[in-house]
Chains A and B, each alone.
Chain A
Amino acid sequence: MRTTKHWSKLAVLVMAFMLLVGASLTSAQDDTTAWWAEAGAQFAGVTLRGVSESTPASNYVKDVLAPQFTELTGINVELETTSWDQMYDKAIRDMEAGTGLYDFVYIEQDIIYGYLANEYLVDMTQALADNPELAAPEFSFDNFTTFVDYFKNDEGHVFGMPMEAFVKIYLYRTDLFEDADIMAAFEAEYGYPLAPATTHQQYTDIATFFTAYGEANDLDLWGTTVQAASGHPSSFYEFFESVAPTFGVYNWGINQETWKASVANGGEMNSDAAKEALAWWLNNLQFAPPESTSSTWDEVAASFAAGRAAQGLVYGENAAWIATDATRSNVVGNVGVALPPVEPGVMEAAEADTGYIGYYDGGAFGLPVSSQNQQATLLWLQFVGLPSVQAEWAAASSRIVMEPTYDDPLVVAMDEATNGYYSLMQDQGYLFAGAPPFPFHPQVREAVAPFIYRAIAGEITPAEALDGAAAAAEAELISLGYGS
């Protein structure tokens, strides 16, 4: 009887505690909502315009976050999502001319150095310090992973609100790699077990094997994807940011002390390792779907999702939908992730932080100096950087910019669905690196890329391409005032 009484008291206490916690949480949430409504009231009716690349992460911002923010604050947000090159053209033109058309622009990590050099962007750290009434209580730059460092100046001030970060990953088809008959056939042919490649030779063996397998079984299946559009910068990026580093050629082969690219002048762009890398990459074309020479990053993801390749290097932002969205992908549940294959010594260099094995991609939203609505945009960008909006966003577009997001149940579930993409990014993301800090990024790319295009088309050899590319890069650097 006495025990029952105690239990009753305990139950009442627990219920009271839960009610208290619930009430305080609701109250906190109400406070938060009230803060945003109050902060946004003075800008209600204002429309903020932004431009971004049409990526899963940006589309989530447009479709989900922008309406949420409008509901909270009364501030409208119009995000124009367009192609990567159009996005840059529009943003740079607007900021260069100071027209103030856009209130926020997408800044891919590789262009930030150029934007900072041209003073296109508002110092967000300073702006929030100058306008404490606009600083959201739950927002802090300290919440972000070290990826935010890419968007800081020398003084540590932040100029871009991180909104996506992912690694370019090695995806493979688990249904093929784990098929007993296929595994036996592969081992019989190559003398070692079928598994995600850790070396370039293994990668080529696997590509060769599955291309032959597809042909023998009358399947639309090839050994690998190759992002080799023969007139589009995406092929330049796949080679210099994803393939060359796995051969130990970093930072596009440009010596950052002398601003030279050729071996003769201390660079590495036309080194033997770079030429070997380009030859290897181009050789993969024969094991790739025929659309590969017209494939940019989007088409590579689409080819893999269509089940046309057994393996490939794919931008991680696509991992979630490829692995889980049955309306767009034929390989749902059959996607494995691994680190890219590397040459001996490259992994050790990456672990020692003297090299890297691939591209850590991502971007932020920047606030142009020319924006006519800087204060309202500051509010909006903080909203994008709130911890509370991160998990669903991460699950929808496999991007993570805050450490705690990895532990969210939604992300943990997606991690399982993608066979560990998120874990890999969390645990081994440090092996990858963003683009080198070049303020002349698109300029040198445009000078070098035609040589890569011509090599893809078979007009010149890999060696000729990189010799020409190194000379063109140096000429462009000199014309831009770097080196002599």
Chain B
Amino acid sequence: MRRTRTGWLLLSPTLIIMFIFGLFPFIYVLLVGFNDWNPFSARDGLTYIGVDNYRNLVFDNLFLNALGVTIRFTFFAVLSELIIGFLLANLLARDFFGKTLFRIVHTVPLMIAPIAVGAIWRLMTIPGFGPIPYFLDRWFDVSFNIGTSSDQAFLSILIMDIWHWTPFVTLTMLAGLTALPREPVEAAQVDGANRWQIFRHITLPLMRPVILTTVFIRVMDALRTVDEINMLTNGGGPGTSTRTLGIHIFRVVFPQTDYGYGSAMSLLTLYLTIVACWLLFVSLTQVRRNN
């Protein structure tokens, strides 16, 4: 009995902090999501409206557009980072001239704050001044304007994210590769397996936990990307072509001060993120079990 009491006593600071900074805001947002609350409304305070905010979300074109942008962005960004990061990790697992320098230079983007990354890419892509539009025009006669072309703007945010986060994938993959046991590879070599077979049947299955963890982290990060895209495309433009869920929620909650609707949107996004990660986890572990 006494041991239990001491245990709770020792746990209590953590539990209190978790309640204040984790559970309480969640419950608060949950409750606000069932209300109509805009301080600039003609009505005072909160008005309970049940699940109307959630019902409206299903028919909200801007929200659905933001959801689509976010899914496309997450899929292409994470997939590209995974492939490039894995290839680079394999490269860095070997010895070659200038390896240390390459590794340092390659890791630099990871150290830059997202808002600064957005600013750097904005300066590089701004039409009229940026080097990217300038050289694309000069060398390839390509007109590049992220202020008017939705495709070019989307491509730009993808490349920026890949540039920023591939080093993270490379480092985690490299850690995984260097920690792999040598014995299975050596045994396969003795049995006459070629490099592709070793990669396909030994390296890849052994690396699966690392890949899974990396994908999880990157998917969750990509789903909530706000600052660098907001900075690069000036708030998700042109039109709403790069307005991700994070940017959309920001605009609804802050400039539009629609706290009720914004809360519902945030919670639905959280729910979708959890579902996406759960599906990803189940499918990957299922593949592992089948193997």
Contacts and interface: CB of A to CB of B under 8 A. Distances in A.
A is bound by B? yes
Interface of A: 85, 88-89, 92-93, 96, 114, 117-118, 228-233, 289-294, 296, 308, 439-443, 445-447, 450, 453-454, 456-459, 479-482
A289 B126 CA distance: 11
21 contacts: A88-B255, A229-B235, A231-B235, A232-B235, A289-B128, A290-B147, A291-B128, A293-B145, A294-B126, A294-B147, A440-B41, A442-B256, A446-B251, A446-B252, A447-B256, A450-B239, A453-B237, A459-B239, A479-B41, A480-B42, A481-B42
What 8 A-B pairs come out closest when comparing CB atoms?
A231-B237, A293-B147, A481-B42, A457-B238, A230-B238, A290-B127, A454-B239, A291-B128
B265 to A, nearest CB: 13
A456 B237 CA distance: 10
A292 B43 CA distance: 39
A88 B253 CA distance: 12
Interface string B28-40: 0000000010111
B129 interface: yes
Contact of A457 (B122, B127, B237): B237
Interface residues of B, number: 38
Interface of B: 36, 38-43, 62, 122, 126-129, 133, 145-150, 233-243, 251-252, 254-258
B255 A446 contact: yes
Contacts of B233: 231
A384 B126 CA distance: 38
Contact of A439 (B40, B145, B237): B40
Contact of A480 (B38, B149, B236): B38
B256 A293 contact: no
A118 B239 contact: no
A82 to B, nearest CB: 13
A387 B279 CA distance: 67
Given A456-B238, A479-B36, A481-B43, 15 more contacts: A230-B148, A231-B234, A231-B235, A231-B240, A294-B122, A294-B147, A442-B255, A443-B256, A454-B238, A454-B240, A457-B237, A479-B38, A479-B41, A480-B40, A481-B41
A228 B256 CA distance: 21
Contacts of B43: 481
Nearest to A477: B42
Contact of A443 (B38, B62, B235): B38
**A231, A440, A447, A457 interface centre (most CB from chain B within 10 Å):** A231
B42 A230 contact: no
Nearest to B253: A89
Nearest to B230: A231
B36 A230 contact: no
Contacts of B126: 291, 294
A442 to B, nearest CB: 5
B128 A232 contact: no
Nearest to B248: A450
Contact of A453 (B36, B128, B240): B240
B255 A89 contact: yes
B51 to A, nearest CB: 16
Given A231-B242, A232-B234, A456-B239, A118 B39 contact: yes
Q: Which of B149, B235, B236, B239 has the most chain A CB atoms closer than 10 A to its own CB?
A: B239
Nearest to B62: A450
Dominant secondary structure at the A interface: helix
A442 B40 contact: yes
B235 to A, nearest CB: 4
A456 B238 CA distance: 8
Q: Tell which of A292, A445, A457 has the most Cβ of chain B within 10 Å.
A: A457
Contact of B240 (A88, A450, A481): A450
B150 A457 contact: yes
B147 A89 contact: no
A294 B127 contact: yes
A479 B258 CA distance: 10
A443 B148 CA distance: 25
A441 B41 CA distance: 11
B258 A443 contact: yes
Contacts of B257: 92, 96, 442-443
A114 B40 contact: yes
Contact of A231 (B128, B129, B236, B256): B236
B105 to A, nearest CB: 29
Nearest to A294: B147
A296 B234 contact: yes
Contacts of B254: 85, 89, 92-93
A446 B243 CA distance: 13
- Pick the most buried of A228, A289, A290: most chain B CB atoms within 10 A of its CB: A290
Nearest to B36: A479
A443 B40 contact: yes
A446 B256 contact: yes
Contacts of B40: 114, 117-118, 439-443, 480
Interface centre among B127, B147, B150, B242 (most CB of A within 10 A): B147
Nearest to A456: B238
A231 B251 CA distance: 11
A293 B148 contact: yes
Contact of A230 (B38, B122, B129, B237): B237
A231 B255 contact: no
Contacts of B127: 290-291, 293-294
Contacts of B149: 457
Contact of A456 (B38, B148, B236): B148
Contacts of B241: 457
A442 B243 CA distance: 18
A439 B40 CA distance: 7
A308 B128 contact: yes
Contacts of A290: 127-128, 133, 145, 147
Contacts of B239: 230-231, 450, 453-454, 456-457, 459
Contacts of A458: 148
A351 B237 CA distance: 38
A458 B238 CA distance: 9
A459 B238 CA distance: 9
A480 B41 contact: yes
Contacts of B39: 96, 118
B115 to A, nearest CB: 11
A218 to B, nearest CB: 14
Q: Could you say which of A96, A233, A450, A458 has the most chain B C-beta atoms within 10 Å of its C-beta?
A: A450
Contacts of A291: 126-129, 147
A473 to B, nearest CB: 13
Contacts of A117: 40
Residue with the highest number of chain A CB atoms closer than 10 Å, among B149, B236, B243, B255: B255
